[in-house]
Structure 1
Amino acid sequence: MKSIVLKNGFFGKVPVVKLEFPYDFELKETVKSFPECQWDIQEKVWWVPYSDDIIERLLSYFKGKVWLDYSRFRKLDKTEMPAQLPPISEKLKKEILEFEDWMRNKRYSESTINTYIGGLILFFRFLENKSLEEIKNEDLEKFHKEYIIARQYSISFQSQVINAVKLFFSIRENRKLDPEIIHRPRKEKLLPNVLSKEEVKRILEVHKNVKHRTMLSLVYACGLRRSELLNLKISDVDSKRGLLIVRQSKGKKDRVVPLSEKIVGLLRQYYKSERPNIYLFEGGKSNTKYSEGSLQKIMKSALRKTGITKPVTLHWLRHSFATHLLENGTDLRYIQEILGHNSSRTTEIYTHVSDNSIRRVKSPFDDL
């Protein structure tokens, strides 16, 4: 029987229970079916909100399906405990599942669906399963003030929950809760993380395995997102024209990305070695996509081998690609097109981390 390790964790000041297991598609689908389970995109882990009875509930739910190892789990004392909220009612659970089906039919991304469903469950539990007809703007205000703000949830989570509630009521109840009454905080303006060309070169060349080296190289060479790389098919590579077709990416858009002669050469070397059938990078089973978890392990292994101690993620390669293009004099409009950004404002953030102009600024300290 497959097993899951349960561990305590905290997201900010919010205690959670993490469900850790090696990537397995069937096991992932089973874990996702637990109503309160959510995926954290930063830590790459499934989690559920902490409660005193969470272990009993998990054991009951997964009985006969999965072996749960909770030897590394401990009960929190009162000073560490979150607010005690009742479990979601069966009636509301049915409404949420129908809303989940609607989002999936509308082709919302799985990460958005999981985030919205988790936020809705939290909202309804806070309201103690109040009937939908009775929920008003004041309830949203109260939840915002007494739960999200009081427990110092992140700005992004705050916005996601409000968006989830707004969408749910407009679709399921055909009415509008007005989130504009809530003064949303300003978004944090974080700069993208960028590696030097020397650091990128070390990361891309450290693996001897041609498949691993090609995957990381293609992310940087074309500025790809992780999902874009894993969804590539052999037919998406047009080596004669030097183009890569990225299909149905973020925003359900196709785009074309240039392929340099150097990356085409590496792709040919990889193809001769591995002979994939459908997807450009396939997993252990033929005709299946390479897994996100395995790709992340490739990146971590590269960092360990190079001795780079920065908290580098795969997305840093995409940021580095865009920044290095800008430093080479590429027009922002072309960078926007290659990255698949809807707005030029998104692309303009790379002007703040490009060092071409900044390095030319002379400090007055040098004149002292």
Structure 2
Amino acid sequence: MDYTDLNQKHLEELKNICILKGFSKQTIKAYYYNVKRFLDFIAKSGLNLENNAIKSYLLTLNLSVNSMRLQYASLRFFFAEILKKPFTTADVPIKKKEKILPKLLSKEQIKKLIEATDNLKHKLIVKLLYSSGLRLGELLNLKRKDLDFERNILYIRKGKGKKDRITLISENLKLDLLNYYSKNTFKTEYILEGRNGKYTKKSVQKVLDNLGKKIGTKVHPHMLRHSFATHLLDSGTDIRHIQKLLGHSDISTTEIYTHVSNKDLSNIRSPLDNI
């Protein structure tokens, strides 16, 4: 078996083990692509599949810390599961994850965002992301049967990590949804439909980008989820409840919102004001 065939065999093994472990399509695609790039580098450089080759490869990349960490995770998985040559951060160092504060919108900006369009579907996109704290993928996978109007509950099926959870539906949103249902004929079971079935990520991103331009602010889907969490925290909601609504398995992930919340800061006077 020549080198090209061996690499292809490795890549197929990688894909299969990812599927067996239940990884998402996005993770499988990323791991496959990253490992293929590494194997191409090995073929061109003539290096062996050893730790030093990993170091050399990572040093050639000019990527952000988070992108570099994804490369690292891909190679670590490949070496451990396929080559049976596990390595640690002591063997191959990696930068720590950047602690970047989440970007969010004020309540006034969100109100302007909703009022910036007369398109009911576009209003629903903003309201669903903000009022329920949804991730983009969760919004697109939302089905009409997942909404319980009697209990004001929204069911998230197989969210991140393939976990189910429940979150909120606002009274304001409920009226818009019922209006939207009455004016549309659906071809699928999804709330948001495109021309060829389910609405796409690019379509949502384009809607928010256009609305953001109207109010003079760059907007991406996750900003509305960040805003949902921060505004709940500002209003005094227990962080453990917010953790459940967001679907975080670790409370430390939710605690980042304490760094952008004004709840405690608003009660502190600057020493300059006391002079």
- TM-score of the two chains, using structure 2 as the length reference: 0.91
Which of 257, 266, 272 lines up with 1:359 in the alignment? Answer: 266
In the aligned structure 1, how far is the partner of 2:198 from the partner of 2:97? 35
For 1:203, the equivalent position in structure 2 comes to: 113
In the aligned structure 2, how far is the partner of 1:177 from the partner of 1:220? 41
- SS of alignment partner, residue 355 of structure 1: coil
In the aligned structure 2, how far is the partner of 1:233 from the partner of 1:89? 44
Alpha carbon RMSD of aligned pairs, Å? 2.1
For 1:73, the equivalent position in structure 2 comes to: none
Unaligned runs of 5+ in 2: none
1:126 matched to 2:41? The reply is yes
- SS of alignment partner, residue 256 of structure 1: strand
In the aligned structure 2, how far is the partner of 1:230 from the partner of 1:249? 11
- SS of alignment partner, residue 194 of structure 1: coil
Q: Is the 8 A contact 2:236 2:263 kept in 1?
A: no
Unaligned runs of 5+ in 1: 1-87
For 2:97, the equivalent position in structure 1 comes to: 187
In the aligned structure 1, how far is the partner of 2:96 from the partner of 2:89? 15
Which of 321, 339, 349 lines up with 2:228 in the alignment? Answer: 321
Which of 250, 273, 297 lines up with 2:206 in the alignment? Answer: 297
Query: By how many angstroms is 1:350 displaced?
Result: 0.6
Higher-helix-fraction structure: 2
Query: By how many angstroms is 1:210 displaced?
Result: 1.1
Give the AA of the match of 2:39: F
Give the AA of the match of 2:254: T
1:147 matched to 2:147? The reply is no
Query: By how many angstroms is 1:215 displaced?
Result: 1.8
Query: By how many angstroms is 1:90 displaced?
Result: 4.4
Give the AA of the match of 2:80: S
For 1:135, the equivalent position in structure 2 comes to: 49
In the aligned structure 2, how far is the partner of 1:338 from the partner of 1:223? 7
For 1:14, the equivalent position in structure 2 comes to: none
Query: By how many angstroms is 1:107 displaced?
Result: 3.0
For 1:161, the equivalent position in structure 2 comes to: 71
For 1:265, the equivalent position in structure 2 comes to: 175
Query: By how many angstroms is 1:207 displaced?
Result: 1.4
Query: By how many angstroms is 1:214 displaced?
Result: 1.1
For 1:248, the equivalent position in structure 2 comes to: 158
Give the AA of the match of 1:325: L
Q: Deviations over 1:169-217 (max 9, x none)?
A: 2222233234431232222111011111000111122211111111211
Which of 280, 293, 298 lines up with 2:191 in the alignment? Answer: 280
For 1:69, the equivalent position in structure 2 comes to: none
**Relative to structure 1, is the Cα distance of residues 351 and 178 closer, same or farther in structure 2, using a 3 angstrom cutoff?**
closer
For 2:123, the equivalent position in structure 1 comes to: 213
For 2:246, the equivalent position in structure 1 comes to: 339
In the aligned structure 1, how far is the partner of 2:221 from the partner of 2:143? 20
In the aligned structure 2, how far is the partner of 1:139 from the partner of 1:316? 38
Give the AA of the match of 1:111: Q
Q: Is the 8 A contact 1:283 1:290 kept in 2?
A: yes
In the aligned structure 2, how far is the partner of 1:192 from the partner of 1:359? 19
In the aligned structure 1, how far is the partner of 2:89 from the partner of 2:229? 35
Which of 142, 163, 186 lines up with 1:232 in the alignment? Answer: 142
In the aligned structure 2, how far is the partner of 1:157 from the partner of 1:284? 33
For 2:32, the equivalent position in structure 1 comes to: 117
Q: Is the 8 A contact 1:223 1:317 kept in 2?
A: yes
Query: By how many angstroms is 1:320 displaced?
Result: 0.4
Between the two proteins, what is the percent identity of the paired residues?
A: 36
Q: Is the 8 A contact 1:137 1:178 kept in 2?
A: no
Q: Is the 8 A contact 2:124 2:176 kept in 1?
A: yes
The total of aligned residue pairs comes to 272
- SS of alignment partner, residue 356 of structure 1: coil
- TM-score of the two chains, using structure 1 as the length reference: 0.69
Stretch moving more, 276-285 or 201-210: 276-285
Query: By how many angstroms is 1:105 displaced?
Result: 4.2
In the aligned structure 2, how far is the partner of 1:107 from the partner of 1:125? 26
Matches within 5 A, 1:25-40: none
In the aligned structure 1, how far is the partner of 2:204 from the partner of 2:178? 20
Higher-strand-fraction structure: 1
In the aligned structure 2, how far is the partner of 1:130 from the partner of 1:185? 24
Q: Is the 8 A contact 2:153 2:166 kept in 1?
A: yes
* Moved beyond 4 Å, runs of 4+: 129-132
Query: By how many angstroms is 1:258 displaced?
Result: 2.0
Q: Is the 8 A contact 1:89 1:129 kept in 2?
A: no
Q: Deviations over 1:296-328 (max 9, x none)?
A: 11111211223x23x321110110010000111
Stretch moving more, 245-254 or 134-143: 134-143
For 1:50, the equivalent position in structure 2 comes to: none
